[in-house]
Amino acid sequence: MYDLREFIEKCKELGEVQLVEGADWDLEIGAISQWQVDDPDSPLLMFDRIKGYEPGYRVCSNMFRTRTREALALRLQLDAHSGVDLVRAWRQKVKQGITPIPPRTVDTGPVTENIQTGEEVDLYTFPVPKWHEHDGGRYLGTGHVVVTKDLDDGWINLGTYRVQVHDKNTATIYMSPGRHAGIIRQKYWAKGVGCPAVVSIGGDPAIWAFSCIELPWKAPEYNYAGWLRGEPVEVIEGPTTGLPIPAAAEIAIEGEIVPPEVDSRLEGPFGEWTGYYGSAQRPEPAFKVKAILHRDNPILMSSPPTLPSRTHYLGVWTRRAADLWSDLEKTIPGIEGVYLLDEPLAGKMAVISIKQMYIGHAKHVALASAGNRSLAYLCKWIVVVDHDIDPSDIRQVLWAVCTRCEPEEDIDIIRQCWGSALDSRLPPGKREKGQLDHSTAMILACKPYSWIDDFPKDIKLSAEQIRDLTNKWGKLFKGP
């Protein structure tokens, strides 16, 4: 049974885990995580002996900061040299075929080693961090799965929605409008009852990977995780909700999200993936906890929003880039690479490299990208570059923008695009009206096709030159 602990052990073998002892759950764990994530080679952080807690009650963060750890969690080869290599590897995996594997119900599992019910229930059993200075409280759920069941047909949905602790047996689960679990809970409320839910933390990262990507309505996330694992996800039946819980989870919290008129708590603000406190404090329906299950020496897997934001959700930006790439090449030739840049803000700036073949080719690609679901939500910049530019290397991309784009001719604006209340640039007046749209800029940073043969030659080394230099001189520049 592959689980979070096995993943961490494999990361240790790769030299990518750092133990941190004695940190405070109150801001210090969050500050260390943010500080370290600035380094693109930063290790997975394992916090133990946390202030006020017994040894063994642990928190891990910065789970997937490196391409190696992301590839490990997504069952890809570990030799990606660039972001585009990782996207290409995922595309190749998908091309080999996706055969969903349903979960398998078992009687028990590691998550049942400890069970709290009734008056025993205490969310503060775990060293729940306060991640950012101005957060409205302690957030238990950042690297987790929320399990719900559709009232009409029994469809099991997995999603990731932030979870704030309010007292020992009450939390809130914030869901922005249109999210699948939000639609599901409305059906229960319409009948005047609470919506059963489970917050599952830890377990195989593959499960989390599919809970935080936008799959179609009724898509079975457990089944997709089974495909990625190559075997079924083993689940137990929740003792109070009956919902399927990963048997190898570290922590599982069962309860119900009551109708807002029954009980609501002030939720937020929270430092979001956009790099800002994305929403003001507001009432949210209470999540009444009925039972807590956890392993011995539990690990609170976490993925708090940080800058850069690529690490917040496992593989989301890699898979969105892969989806866009696949969609584009169905109808447009010459697509050489697609990437959602980490440095400005993953998901906000997409770069597509192309081998130009006709007049208007770059504009064709930009327009098709702007209308693609992978980019439609909150993407504000689409950059098209030539095939000699690595779209995952921001230095090359900016060089192309500054030397191949004539702003007056090569930048266009699309208005009234799909936005969100998390948009820090949304004016107060539009926010108050619920007008959550934004504009998107399309930048054509390509050599003009009409005189491409006359464009000045660049001074970059060729791949052949780099290979020859590496073979002759590479030993001088390798580390110890």
State which residues of the chain have pLDDT below 70: 1, 308-313, 346, 478-480
Rounded to whole angstroms, how far apart are CA atoms 215 and 315? 14
* 166 phi/psi in degrees, rounded to 5: -115, -35
How much is the pLDDT for 140? 97
Q: What SS3 class is residue 281? A: coil
DSSP codes, 195-206: EEEEEEE-S-HH
Q: Burial-class residue 93 by CB neighbours within 10 Å (0-12, 13-18, 19+).
A: middle
Cβ count near 229 (within 10 Å): 16
Tokens of 384: 């098209």
| Cα–Cα distance, 375 to 378 (Å, whole number) | 7
* 464 half-sphere exposure, CB direction, 13 A CA radius: 0
Domains along the chain with CATH numbers: 98-301 (2.30.110.10), 316-469 (3.40.1670.10)
Q: What is the pLDDT of residue 480?
A: 44
Give the pLDDT score at 332. Answer: 97
Of 299, 300, 295, 294, give the one whose Cα is nearest residue 252: 294
Predicted local confidence at residue 312, as pLDDT = 60
* Phi then psi dihedrals of residue 38, to 5 deg: -65, -25
Q: Active-site positions? A: 272
Q: Enter the tokens of residue 163.
A: 């979870």
From the centroid of its chain, how far is CA 390? 23
Supply 137's token pair.
Answer: 């409280």
Give the pair of three-digit tokens for residue 309: 């934001």
Helix (H, G, I), strand (E, B) or coil at 116: strand
The CA dihedral of 88, 89, 90, 92, to the nearest 10 degrees, is 90
Cα–Cα distance for residue pair 407/424, rounded to 1 Å: 25
Return the axis-axis angle of helices 316-331 and 361-370, rounded to nearest 10°.
130
